[in-house]
Amino acid sequence: MRKKKKMDATTENGDHLPTEGRFTNSCIQARRKCQADPTCNATYHYLNSCASSISTSSPAEEPLVPEDCMEAAQQLRNSSLMSCTCHRRMKNQATCLDIYWTIHPARSLGDYELDVSPYEDTVTRKPWKMNLSKLNMLIPDSDLCLKFAMLCTLNDKCDRLRKAYGEACSGSRCQRHTCQRQLRAFFEKASEPHSQGLLLCPCAPTDQGCGQRRRNTIAPSCALPSEAPNCLELRHVCVSDPLCRSRLADFQTHCHPMDILGTCATEQSRCLRAYMGLIGTALTPNFVSNINASVALSCTCRGSGNLQEECERLEESFSHNPCLMEAISAKMRFHSQLFSQDWAASTFSVMERQNKNPALRPQPWVPTLFSCTLTLILLSSLW
């Protein structure tokens, strides 16, 4: 009997999807190694039982971890579990994140250390081709949000994922939990150029129709609470969920401003990915109006009492974050440039480069993350 050759899953563009074997040290792999060691396995099980004894006395505080649980975590300091990571598109992501937070019960969400995020960074450098000729069916002066929406519609995978969350998030009886799950699926599985184009499309300040389309991208009437809760209570809900806690840790890691000029702790592309990773969680951010690109959480700091300052820090990490604001503005400028080139030539290429050490060498933004070859081909079938 012949053995079936195991094939890696691929995206529509031929890119391999992340699998456990493609990581340096995924938490699922590390857990399997730990199971083979009786001492490590027993310690892990003890830590797992600690989860029920960890509590928070108020929404503003980090989990209070019993001392014996902290000692158990220290016993694993030489295990591969301590340096394991996950990926937001990996199979069994929930299991991986459960393992990560089990062995890091006291990891703080406010220290801005680069090893706090449970996610391993992977950056694809493969070119992504976008056929703009199909946009000729649109009115020439159509706004860019409409153009990026059309590009998604003309892409089978993007269109399928967008319709899925559109259906889940529509109607007067929408289920917020289902809507948010479908939103996460879209931003995890759709190609970044498509999802970022939809969410971060540039609009003229006077074009409120474009701005409204941009704000409605995440179906806020269903995905967001109808009445704004307290921000600290919302964070409390988030940190109680391993997925949301992970996305918040990732955001704080990569969107931490180094200075008032908007220099990110890591590359802007990673900040945008972390920001978009929060969409579909309890801490889903969105644009605040139709006339500008300011973003904020759907919560308030009213009623925070003596925790007012703590609450405002959380709220301002989105609404007044120079790193995030510049990353969003830079991506919108890039998207605008895509449609402002002279398309007389048959192709146009843009290579986005990474700043290898932004902390030491802050520099003006240049397009990052992917290279685009924009091919103009008139398709008679569209006319």
The list of the chain residues with pLDDT below 50 reads 1-21, 342-383
Within 10 A of 329 (CB to CB), how many other CB atoms are there?
Answer: 16
Q: Is the dihedral of CA 336, 264, 60, 27 positive or negative?
A: positive
The pLDDT of residue 110: 54
The pLDDT of residue 18: 45
The pLDDT of residue 19: 45
Contact 162, 216 (CB under 8 A): no
Contact 213, 149 (CB under 8 A): yes
Place of tokens 């006077």: 206
* Of residues 149, 274, 261, the one with CA closest to residue 212: 149
In angstroms, the CA 291 to CA 43 distance is 54
Angle subtended at Cα 89 by Cα 86 and Cα 90, rounded to the nearest 5 degrees: 55
What residue type is 215 in one-letter code?
R
Contacts of residue 251, Cβ cutoff 8 Å, sequence gap at least 6: 271, 274, 275, 277, 278
The pLDDT of residue 65: 73
The pLDDT of residue 63: 59
The pLDDT of residue 339: 76
In angstroms, the CA 54 to CA 49 distance is 10
Within 10 A of 242 (CB to CB), how many other CB atoms are there?
Answer: 20
pLDDT, tens digit, 9 for 90 and up, residues 129-183: 566 666 666 666 778 999 899 999 989 999 999 999 999 999 778 899 999 999 9
* Of residues 148, 157, 159, the one with CA closest to residue 200: 148
pLDDT, tens digit, 9 for 90 and up, residues 292-324: 999 999 999 999 999 999 999 999 999 999 999
Parallel, antiparallel or unpaired: strands 295-297 and 347-351: unpaired
pTM of the complete model: 0.80
The pLDDT of residue 134: 63
DSSP H or E stretch at residue 337: helix 322-338
